[in-house]
Amino acid sequence: MFFTLSALGQGRYETYYMAGPVVKVVQSKFKIESNLVNIPESEPEIGYQIGGFIRARVNNLYVQPELLLSKTQNQLVFLNHGGVAGFNPKADFEFTSLNIPLDIGFYIGDLRIESGPAISILLEGKQFFLNQQLDITDDFNKVSLQYNIGAGLDLNDVLIDVNYEFGLSKTGESLRRLVGNDFSPSRSHLVFSVALVLHRHKKRQ
């Protein structure tokens, strides 16, 4: 402890700041156990996020908040809907959200290990079901919490990250309204991101 305090007092640590734009591709995975609702066995649902980041680093530790505009889609199949055998209509959901993740991580060389919470603020929700388009924004909680863990790599001014994100499911809330039954679905995301560093600042303290 004395050595650490002495080192800090003698200015033996460095602070780095960097900022820039970030683009993310989100592969959404939805799980539910029900004889009323099914998930199509088709291609994975893909979403997109775009925004910016700021990273503050002290030696090998860093904190990175981001501000992202997110658009995701989900599709569900309602089995024997309305009590009609063999009638299995699909429902499509589209969500636009403002995501604010806060990652805390550390460096091992150029490799980074990170984790942290994220707040998702719903801006707009749409449902496409039985040839009808409905605004379902008010049917959901406007704010939900998520958590992610992942790893990244710094390649000069290009930052590459892969994260696993899990949390609450907006689609599950809508299922209760559509079907009238209580479900406990789980939803997770695999997130691939590429960021570009446009600003750097280094300060020895």
Residue-level pLDDT at 110: 85
Q: So where are the chain's domains?
A: 14-204
Do the beta carbons of residue 187 and residue 30 sit within 8 Å? yes
Give rounded-to-5 percent helix, strand, coil for the chain.
10, 65, 25
Highest CATH level, class, for 14-204 = mainly beta
What is the pLDDT tens value at each position of the chain, 205 positions in all?
433 444 444 556 789 899 999 999 998 776 666 677 777 766 567 899 999 999 999 999 999 999 999 998 878 788 877 778 888 888 888 889 999 999 999 999 889 999 999 999 989 988 888 888 888 787 777 888 889 999 999 998 999 999 999 875 555 555 556 555 555 556 788 999 999 999 998 877 6
37 vs 45: CA distance, rounded Å = 17
Do the beta carbons of residue 177 and residue 125 sit within 8 Å? no
Residue-level pLDDT at 192: 96
Total Cβ atoms within 10 A of residue 15: 13
119 vs 134: CA distance, rounded Å = 25
